Amino acid sequence: MGGHSTYCDIQYFLDVIIIVQHSRSMMQGAALISVLHCGTTIRKEELSMYSVNRERLLQTFTDLVKISSPSWNEAGVIDYIVKKLKPMKIQAEKIPCGKSHNLLVRIDGEEKRRPALFSCHTDTVVPCENVIPVVTSSRISSDGTTILGADDKAAVAAFIEAITCIHEQKRTHGPLEFLFSCAEEVGLCGIKCFDMSLLKSKIAFVFDSGGEVGKVIIKAPYHSTIDCTVKGKSAHAGMEPEKGVSAIKVLSEIISKLPHGRIDNETTVNVGLISGGSATNIVAEEAYFKLEARSVDSKKLKSIEDDITLIIHSTVKEYNAKAVITRNLEYSGFTIKENDSILGIIHRALGKINITPQHEISGGGSDTNIINRAGIKAVNLSIGMRNVHTKKEYIMIKDLVNGARFVLALIDTV
Ligand SMILES: [Zn+2]
């Protein structure tokens, strides 16, 4: 696909006949109009049932990245989506969440088909003020002073383009739900406060991972955090240090004993925060650290948390100190089995746009984790973003276009 071809050569003519036949039942006018181009040189993919309007998609994407939308301040992006849907008479429901909103878009479809959810998020990490998109013939980046925001505005743009295509081509489809969550980047906050009972769908396609379109995340980790405050005993550091128990000393001993970094191919631990003490002339009474642990295997995560807790307790005991520990499961992981029917749908949809699926394990969480936890089978799919959360973030235009075509193919396949 993607090469140039003379429209009226025999193979191509056969393609046209097939498209015209499809058009009777599905696309009506759209493909017939393409036939009028016979005799000119046209990119073959433009004749595909899953073609999108590249220029319009680029415009939508660059419009979106120029709108600043740090977590909890997504109003500009939300209003942009609502405005784009309005001429198509598609209602979008703004559902309050903290000081922002989740946006739910429902599009009625043939009731005999199964409803499907498409989900992405409207916030970005910082710095995201005054993003200047730099568009070359093959890719889009920022000017290097900010992030780009393809995470996750590439998905927002792809959803808008796919919705516009089904509307203008009068394509048939099942009941569709599009969820644009807020505050994903600061702990999946938007999706966590969303009432899942509002959804009819039992399957979900979340577009929020990076790399080439076709990448399918089939496993993502459970993620927990441990807060620990070590309590020692203060004393004057110069006059009677032997009367004190330094919380900082005990804390450093604990940290030196902890498992850390990559534990195995699906488990990681990281101490990310420490603080403590009040002055150099005081033996520190309190010290604090916080760590996270992740594993796609919930049993491994539990066992590593137990090990950590044991190390803390035994070390404070040794020094006659105390520890207050808080364990918190931030979100659950998920595993999609290789024979799950959702993967069948994804593979068929990718086949329609001539892309080979690649299954991968993610080390990060996304809205997908929360949606799965709520009993809706959800898979995280790549939307083409690269170097996310850095000023070197970019997206290949080919991936931006393929992302929108993939959404269209999924809508058709479900
Ligand atoms: Zn994201």
Task: Give yes or no for a contact between 258 and 269, defined as CB atoms under 8 angstroms apart.
Answer: yes
Please name every residue paired with 43 in a beta bridge, in sequence order, or none if there are none.
Answer: 4
Round to whole Å and give the CA distance between 50 and 15: 14
> What backbone torsions phi and psi does residue 128 show, to the nearest 5 degrees?
-130, 20
pLDDT tens per residue, range 304-363? 999 999 999 999 999 999 999 999 999 999 999 999 999 999 999 999 999 999 999 998
Round to whole Å and give the CA distance between 360 and 83: 36
Q: Which of 78, 131, 128, 126 is nearest to 100 (CA)?
A: 78
pLDDT at 44 (0 to 100): 53
Domain 54-220+333-413, what architecture?
3-Layer(aba) Sandwich (3.40)
Name the average pLDDT for the chain: 90
pLDDT tens per residue, range 321-335? 999 999 999 999 999
Averaged over 48-71, what is the pLDDT? 96
Residues recognised as catalytic: 123, 184
Distance 265 CA to ligand 1 centre (A): 23
pLDDT of 1 strictly over 80: no
pLDDT tens per residue, range 252-270? 999 999 999 999 999 999 9
Distance 250 CA to ligand 1 centre (A): 38
pLDDT at 363 (0 to 100): 86
Q: Is the peptide bond before 152 cis (omega within 30 degrees of 0)?
A: yes
pTM: 0.81
CA 147, 153, 158, 160 dihedral sign is negative
Q: Roughly what angle, to the nearest 10 degrees, separates helices 54-66 and 150-168?
A: 140
pLDDT tens per residue, range 258-302? 999 999 999 999 999 999 999 999 999 999 999 999 999 999 999
Distance 151 CA to ligand 1 centre (A): 5
pLDDT of 32 strictly over 80: no
Q: How far apart are the first and last CA of the chain?
A: 23
pLDDT at 217 (0 to 100): 96
pLDDT at 49 (0 to 100): 86
| Band of pLDDT at residue 47, cut at 50, 70 and 90 | very low
Q: Which of 3-17, 224-238, 244-258 has the lowest mean pLDDT?
A: 3-17
What are the boundaries of each domain within the chain?
A: 4-47, 54-220+333-413, 222-330
pLDDT of 25 strictly over 50: no
Distance 49 CA to ligand 1 centre (A): 29
pLDDT tens per residue, range 89-118? 999 999 999 999 999 999 999 999 999 999
pLDDT tens per residue, range 369-383? 999 999 999 999 999
Distance 243 CA to ligand 1 centre (A): 51
pLDDT of 155 strictly over 80: yes
Round to whole Å and give the CA distance between 414 and 202: 11
Distance 212 CA to ligand 1 centre (A): 15
CATH T-level fold of 222-330: Alpha-Beta Plaits (3.30.70)
Q: Which segments of 86-149 does DSSP mark as H helices, in order?
A: none
